[in-house]
Amino acid sequence: MYIVIAPDSFKECKSATKVALAISEGIKRILPEAEIICIPMADGGEGTVEALIMATAGRIITAESVDALNRPIKSFYGVLGDGKTAVIEMAAASGIELLRPEERNPLLTSTFGTGLLLKAAMEDGFTKIIMGIGGSATNDGGAGMAQALGFGLLDKNGHPIQCGGGSLNKLHTINRSTVHRLLEKVKITIASDVRNPLLGPSGATRIYGPQKGATPEMLEILEANLGHFSQILHREFGVNYGELPGAGAAGGLGAGLMAFCGAEMGSGFELIKDLTNLEEHISKASLVFTAEGKIDLQTAYGKTVSGVAQLAKKYHVPAIALAAIVAEDLTTLYDQGISSVFAIGDHPMSSEESKAHAAELLAATSERIMRVITECKRI
């Protein structure tokens, strides 16, 4: 039996690689002779670099940066196997997992560290860069990134505005005379499956602000500030990013990358699918496993599990999905090609306990599924 395991990460818990290995362990307990290929996936968020360098035999480069609160950190970016393409995940600098829950405040958090990683890759000679933009702690529209690249974001008195989504209302003019000399030579592709606009009920602030620590009062400030920021970008770059699909990804970093860097929006899943030859492997498979931390209504709209499901359906391969949390109506996901969804918890437990034992739970659930499958084949 040829089995493909193509999971996403379990956020703030296990990387996609560790999730895949845990599922593989459970399968081998019942079917040790199975031919298993693990293809860790990502949609642009944390784990994107790991997935891509594993798929292409690439390498990691360490780099100095700062976290979302501008504290110095050791970070990294990847180089694909071609030796020519750098891949950055903004979560490695401006990610929410780098902050303690009580530190998360999108009025203060900034993408400055992401800009430093981009600057490092450019100065190391890379002119083709893939930027994964999931898992952010920020809501600054990419303003911090722009400042790190030399854009002068100035108030009415000609002074630089402070970092963070809470200062965007002070932006008056953008000075481009000090922009990094290498930026115009770089082609940046955004790896993201988020298609939210910058503003409005489905925009960056309203949908993702609460999970980044925004209170209801903060949401009002952040939305108004991003609205002001969008007006300045429209004036300076001639594009209305307020309603542009994907502009709201990563707290508006999608808009910032397109405006300040001329980046092109791409699908994180499609990019990794092509680089890993996922479709070819699924076309030959007898069974597919996929997984992510939470499977709910949103999963069917651009998430890794949805993409894997649709490939499995194309080649009439059964697809099993695992998750720590399974919620709401999954009809659309079943229609897309998932055969069944399993929650890995085997008894009531807290979120902390689930995270601590995620690998064991994934392996045990996979083992039970394979036990049923092998028994049914004997009938």
Q: Are residues 147 and 250 in the same domain?
A: yes
Least confident residue range of 30-34, 35-39, 131-135, 296-300: 296-300
Domain's final residue, options 268, 298, 321: 268
CATH of the domain at 344: 3.40.50.10350
Q: Are residues 24 and 132 in the same domain?
A: no
pLDDT value for 20: 95
pLDDT value for 91: 93
Residue 45 has pLDDT above 80, yes or no: no
Residue 132 has pLDDT above 90, yes or no: yes
CATH of the domain at 248: 3.90.1510.10
3-state helix, strand, coil in the chain (%, to 5): 45, 20, 35
CA 81 to mean position of chain CA atoms: 21
In this structure, is residue 80 part of a structural domain? yes
Question: Measured between alpha carbons, how far is 186 from 165 in angstroms, rounded to an integer?
Answer: 27
Cross-strand pairs, 174: 153
Residue with the two structure tokens 């502009």:
247
Domain's final residue, options 230, 245, 268: 268
pLDDT category of residue 379 using cuts at 50, 70 and 90: low
Running DSSP on this structure, what letter comes out for residue 194? -
In this structure, is residue 273 part of a structural domain? no
Q: Are residues 115 and 11 in the same domain?
A: no
Domain's final residue, options 243, 268, 293: 268
In this structure, is residue 176 part of a structural domain? yes
Helix (H) or strand (E) holding 128: strand 128-132
Task: Give tens-digit pLDDT for 341-354.
Answer: 999 987 887 878 88
Q: Are residues 191 and 324 in the same domain?
A: no
Q: Are residues 144 and 205 in the same domain?
A: yes
Q: Are residues 65 and 87 in the same domain?
A: yes
Average pLDDT for the chain: 93
Residue 272 has pLDDT above 90, yes or no: no
Taking residues 347-369, report their average pLDDT. 89
Total domain count, the chain: 2
User: Residue 122 is part of which domain span?
Assistant: 48-268
Q: Are residues 255 and 293 in the same domain?
A: no
Task: Give tens-digit pLDDT for 187-203.
Answer: 999 998 888 999 999 99
Q: Are residues 240 and 360 in the same domain?
A: no
Q: Are residues 217 and 311 in the same domain?
A: no
pLDDT > 90: what percent of the chain? 80
Q: Are residues 19 and 52 in the same domain?
A: no
Task: Give tens-digit pLDDT for 326-336.
Answer: 987 899 999 99
